Structure 1
């Protein structure tokens, strides 16, 4: 009697107690037989962890808002309070661990704090920010995340696997004894690549370069007061920016402020300059002040 891995995947995905690692290995066989690069990238990253992947390329279902704490020898773990404009960037992270580690955590009765390693670059960025505040002594830091995050990730992975396998079977891409006919391979590859691009993203294929905006047309009026307030907030965090960015950000800020003071400010110029300022700040990977400033500008631009 012939068997189908696609059907087996569906059965395992709906079981509450199914072995998630074994399930993903079955998915890997199907993806390899179909020649789906996007499916294989995602499966390999889940099995091995996203340790060599930039944080922004880790799937959104692994994202969480946590809390930074520092060790006080007299009071134990104490919270770190960030300025409002930096809090979201500083306290947002995506869990990079392998699915086997996350699956094991999801099966435990987690009553105490669950901590996440954000990597040395992010922790050092937090330390630089704290040192710049002038009110910090060198001590141990930790990032505490919600205890329900592992379960949330496990369920998201199982749902992705189930929906992918159902999409294959709906389109008639069913294997017999792990083999696909040539026409099913072609169809299944297209379905799989499209599915994982839409639901996970193009992993490992993101261009990290940022281009400065040269020309833009704005049809909606910009709130100039909000622009000035945003520039003030960026100015207040200037000391924490990378030294090589300070001159360029100051120059753009001065140009924007000068334009705002005109009787009839050029809205398109202001929009383009803000976009350029955002692009420059985005280039400072690992600097929390730059990320926070970039997020402020992004929020401002989205409202236009």
Structure 2
């Protein structure tokens, strides 16, 4: 007779794996074994988490903070303080796994997390905005796809632990000994999904590169790139107010380079300028900034 645990492993490893169906089968196993804590996690994944405090760490992602400009739409809102930027831009996604899957099926989709009123007031003060603004985190599909893989890995590792303890299930039934052995296993989810890194929301056209390679930042190269970008902006066919705003943003980057601020701060400003130029219709200058980002960081 077949084993429900082994059958679930086979389903997870199949090329057309259906993560929602996998979680439902895992729910059946957890209930039959009396694993209430692990089954609570399964329920949260299927139905969504009640709040961010309950979300596991693997659901934490990093978005791009933007403010809504009535003339240009969503534009980057750059925070120079790295620690403050992390606090504001890192959020846990509490949506159900089926909602996340639906989002990932459309590569053009983006999650938009708008900040509530009280937080908007703080952001207005932070940016010195004379009028109330709308602020939101823009989160790309690529940054949430890892959540699906973490869920698959969690269920797979859990079934492997069950198998190791001789908990296989005969058909749809488990013996009393199997139930006892299963309850001896840790039920906390972070025992199964492994190490987690915060996934950054990539800028359009950029690839996510993971790893620990150390890149030495060159302030001299950054200064040279600034001069090329300034010349390119001057040649772009942009509206005068957009060109002036871009040059002001470039001046701020030049100042940060002169002060030799942290590379992360300079990169954030480069990215903000690039997105502003793309929204304004720039091509040459935005491309140069993209090349600088890839070469410097």
TM score, norm. by length of structure 1: 0.58
Equivalent residues in 2 for 1:2-81, closer than 5 Å:
2-50=1-49, 52-53=50-51, 55-81=52-78
Q: Is the 8 A contact 2:11 2:17 kept in 1?
A: yes
How many residue pairs end up in the alignment? 192
Change (3 A) 1:80 1:35: same
1:221 corresponding residue in structure 2: none
Change (3 A) 1:149 1:197: closer
TM score, norm. by length of structure 2: 0.60
Q: CA deviation at 1:81?
A: 2.1
Q: CA deviation at 1:199?
A: 3.9
2:189 corresponding residue in structure 1: 196
Q: Is the 8 A contact 1:106 1:154 kept in 2?
A: no
Q: CA deviation at 1:154?
A: 0.8
Determine helix, strand or coil for the equivalent of 2:131. Answer: coil
CA distance in 2, matches of 1:156, 1:136: 43
Deviation string, structure 1 residues 69-128 (Cα, Å, up to 9, x no partner): 1221211211112240411100000111000111222333x135x12436xxx5334302
Deviation string, structure 1 residues 220-258 (Cα, Å, up to 9, x no partner): xxxxxxxxxxxxxxxxxxxxxxxxxxxxxxxxxxxxxxx
Q: CA deviation at 1:56?
A: 3.2
Determine helix, strand or coil for the equivalent of 2:116. Answer: helix
1:263 corresponding residue in structure 2: none
Q: Is the 8 A contact 2:57 2:92 kept in 1?
A: yes
Q: CA deviation at 1:149?
A: 2.4
CA distance in 1, matches of 2:33, 2:135: 45
CA distance in 2, matches of 1:92, 1:145: 10
1:86 corresponding residue in structure 2: 84
Determine helix, strand or coil for the equivalent of 1:71. Answer: strand
Identify the range of structure 1 (13-22 vs 180-189) with the bigger mean alpha-carbon deviation. Answer: 13-22
Q: CA deviation at 1:61?
A: 1.1
Q: 1:115 aligns with which of 111, 114, 118?
A: 111
Change (3 A) 1:157 1:136: farther
Q: Is the 8 A contact 2:4 2:172 kept in 1?
A: yes
CA distance in 2, matches of 1:164, 1:132: 47
CA distance in 2, matches of 1:185, 1:32: 10
Q: Is the 8 A contact 1:90 1:126 kept in 2?
A: no
Q: Is the 8 A contact 2:124 2:133 kept in 1?
A: no
Change (3 A) 1:142 1:16: farther
CA distance in 1, matches of 2:65, 2:116: 10
CA distance in 1, matches of 2:112, 2:28: 31
Change (3 A) 1:181 1:100: same
2:218 corresponding residue in structure 1: none
Q: Is the 8 A contact 1:38 1:197 kept in 2?
A: no
CA-based RMSD of the aligned residues comes to: 2.1
Determine helix, strand or coil for the equivalent of 2:42. Answer: helix
- Residue segments in structure 2 that go unaligned for 5+ positions in a row: 195-297
Q: Is the 8 A contact 1:3 1:177 kept in 2?
A: yes
CA distance in 2, matches of 1:156, 1:146: 17
CA distance in 1, matches of 2:132, 2:103: 30
2:154 corresponding residue in structure 1: 160
Deviation string, structure 1 residues 202-236 (Cα, Å, up to 9, x no partner): xxxxxxxxxxxxxxxxxxxxxxxxxxxxxxxxxxx
Determine helix, strand or coil for the equivalent of 1:117. Answer: strand
2:131 corresponding residue in structure 1: 137
CA distance in 2, matches of 1:128, 1:166: 49
Determine helix, strand or coil for the equivalent of 1:18. Answer: coil
CA distance in 1, matches of 2:19, 2:120: 37
CA distance in 1, matches of 2:186, 2:53: 22
